[in-house]
Chains A and B, each alone.
Chain A
Amino acid sequence: MSGIAGLPRVLGLIDDEPDLSSAIERRLSSFGFEVRLVVPSGPSLSETVTEVMDSAEAAFCDHYLSAGFKVNFSGAELVASLTDHGFPSVLFTGVLPKEQYAIRKNMASIPALLTRDGAEGLSGEPLVTALKESVSEVRDGNPPARRRGRRTPVTIVESRISGTERLVEGLVAGWGGTEPIDIPAELLAPPWCEDPAVAVGHTFFARINISELNPSRLFFDSFEEDPATVDELITDPVE
């Protein structure tokens, strides 16, 4: 076997947990892919991007890389950077709620995300499906409907701190769910990101994949203030 028609044949695997990487390698190999383990040679994100792109045609990447590698970036940042270089990749991770803020910051550039259950699923089908979606979005410019960003209003209803992360909670117009979504405050434009509490009660526009049903897969980018909000700032400036 030599992989699956239309998909890259040589896959890079970036994972600092040997047990997990061997399971994924075995499953991908069973589909005929050639899997190459990529060990970052240094802490730099740009060097690792080059190493991955030089050794494979697409990649699977664990989110947590700091246990076994001496790197100063996350898998989410690596996948986002690979996407920016037009290189298809898939992010996988363990328990999502703990990691969702770091991932959400980069979610707009993470074409496929598997939780560990998915990555270790009964068959390799979820892995192949994720690879197909990544290739379709990154290489062919054809993301699935649930990955298409739509400019839509989002109203900030709360701000809080979780660990070291400053968050706002936003209600998204047009999204199927009704619950507020946690959004890393740094995604807001200045001055809102510097004092997110001031954003509470205000409506912004952002590009959001509103047809995604799973709230953990929503991405947010290109935040803009509603001009009415800016008008309020002019008359009542943020201290």
Chain B
Amino acid sequence: MILDVGHGSAAVLIDEKEAIVVDAGSGDLVTETLERFEITEVRSLVISHRHHDHTSELPSLLSNPDLEIKQLFLNADPTRTPSTPFEEQLRAALNDSVRRSGTEFQQANVTLGARMSTARLTVEVLSPSVDLQLSGVDGETASGEVLHPHALAVVLRVSVENGRAVLLGADLDYTRFQELIDNDESDLSADVLVYPHHGGLSGAGSESAEEAFAGRVASAVAPDVVVFSNGRDRFRNPRREIVRGIRKATDAKPMRMVCTQLSKECCAEEIPADGRLDDFLASAGGATGKSCCGSMIIDLGGHEHLLPIGHKHLDFVLNTVGDQALCLGKSLLQGEEAEGDVA
């Protein structure tokens, strides 16, 4: 499941009665989702990086007496100020979880995917590399670049036996994602791509560079579904040039783009209608009327479509949002012929 946490990230991958949780970006939505699916054991809780939109639920998750978290993967970040209340709370909660559940605490890099995996969910850590982790956040590369937290974001590819896979792009920056694309040993192919940085800027530079980069990402992953874990907020994600780059790169392939919340780029006015695919799932936008797809189930098991009841999204967009919806593609190609690929 990709959860609608607004601007942020949280994903829950369920294998029978245990789960892998990747990021914990808001309120208590991960907790509520685990409760709804009667999950009491988290095999691996992986935090891609230490920014608040990926960590805000982490202290309460670790403090939950009804939840056993076996392993926490959390990378060090010296740019965090240890004396802030949040860092104090994280320290208290992690120690509490270690005392109560024996949680193993370790840092994540490409060598540790197997440790995160469950019986049926195979995890590969695509980034950070060992070299990057040796430098660390705020450290320097051999070329003298000071590493931003996004450079060390943990990117995962999670697959099942039938070959279906999801790539969770975290907030990985342009340089590191380009290195992944250029590295022949990295298998980036996935049926579902959760696009990096909520569809926001990657650091590629100009608008045209962002568009070109998005196209290269989409070509390398070749997804059937692209998910933007975005908020209906001032960031206005996903960015127009990124959607355009993906659309152009995948023109020949039926592909669905979905957002957790209704971007202001698609519709500036409040829409009273509820676009959520599944109102059983907790969504941050559900309570505030901001959802587009809301939280969504991705069916890697192959029993259903990748995005069950995904047609509801198309109905919502066509009938309620209209031609300005970025995912329809009609408003993207200014000066070019609009192509109404609504697959």
Contacts and interface: CB of A to CB of B under 8 A. Distances in A.
A203 B99 contact: no
A226 B65 contact: no
B56 interface: yes
Interface string B69-101: 000000000000000011011111101100100
Contact of B65 (A151, A173, A175, A213): A151
B63 A205 contact: yes
A213 B287 CA distance: 10
A124 to B, nearest CB: 22
Interface stretch (A67-75, A110-118, A152-160, A185-193): A152-160
A174 interface: yes
23 contacts: A145-B32, A145-B282, A145-B287, A146-B287, A148-B28, A151-B63, A152-B60, A155-B89, A173-B60, A174-B27, A174-B56, A174-B57, A174-B59, A175-B27, A176-B26, A203-B88, A210-B28, A211-B27, A211-B29, A226-B92, A226-B96, A227-B95, A228-B92
A155 B27 contact: no
A211 B60 CA distance: 11
A203 B60 contact: no
Contacts, number: 78
A227 B99 contact: yes
B89 A151 contact: no
Contacts of B65: 151
Interface of B: 26-29, 31-32, 56-57, 59-60, 63-65, 85-86, 88-93, 95-96, 99, 282, 287-288
Interface string A202-235: 0101000011010000000000001110000000
A173 B27 contact: no
Interface majority SS on B: helix, strand, loop or mixed? Answer: helix
A230 B216 CA distance: 54
B35 to A, nearest CB: 9
B145 to A, nearest CB: 32
A153 B27 contact: no
Interface in A99-157: 145-146, 148, 150-155, 157
Contacts of B288: 213
Given A150-B63, A228-B95, 20 more contacts: A145-B282, A148-B32, A150-B60, A150-B64, A152-B60, A152-B93, A153-B92, A155-B85, A173-B59, A173-B60, A173-B89, A173-B93, A174-B57, A203-B89, A205-B63, A210-B28, A210-B60, A213-B288, A226-B92, A226-B96
A145 B283 CA distance: 11
Contact of A151 (B60, B90, B91): B60
A211 B64 CA distance: 15
A219 to B, nearest CB: 14
A155 B27 CA distance: 17
A152 B60 CA distance: 4
Contacts of A210: 27-28, 60
Given A173-B89, A210-B60, A205 B96 contact: yes
Nearest to A175: B27
A99 B296 CA distance: 41
Contact of A152 (B59, B88, B95, B287): B59
Which 3 A-B pairs rank lowest in CB-CB distance, beginning with the nearest? A153-B89, A152-B60, A173-B59
Contacts of B96: 205, 226-227
A39 interface: no
A171 interface: yes
Contacts of B29: 211
Contacts of B92: 153, 203, 205, 226, 228
Contacts of A175: 27
Nearest to A154: B89
Contacts of B31: 150
Nearest to A146: B287
Contacts of B63: 150-153, 173, 205
B89 A211 contact: no
Given A145-B282, A174-B56, A226-B96, A151 B64 contact: yes
Nearest to A201: B88
A148 B31 CA distance: 11
Contacts of A173: 56, 59-60, 63, 86, 89-90, 93
Contacts of A157: 85
A2 to B, nearest CB: 30
A151 B67 CA distance: 11
A176 B27 contact: yes
Nearest to B59: A173
Contacts of A176: 26-27
A154 B93 CA distance: 10
A67 to B, nearest CB: 36
Contacts of A211: 27-29, 32, 287
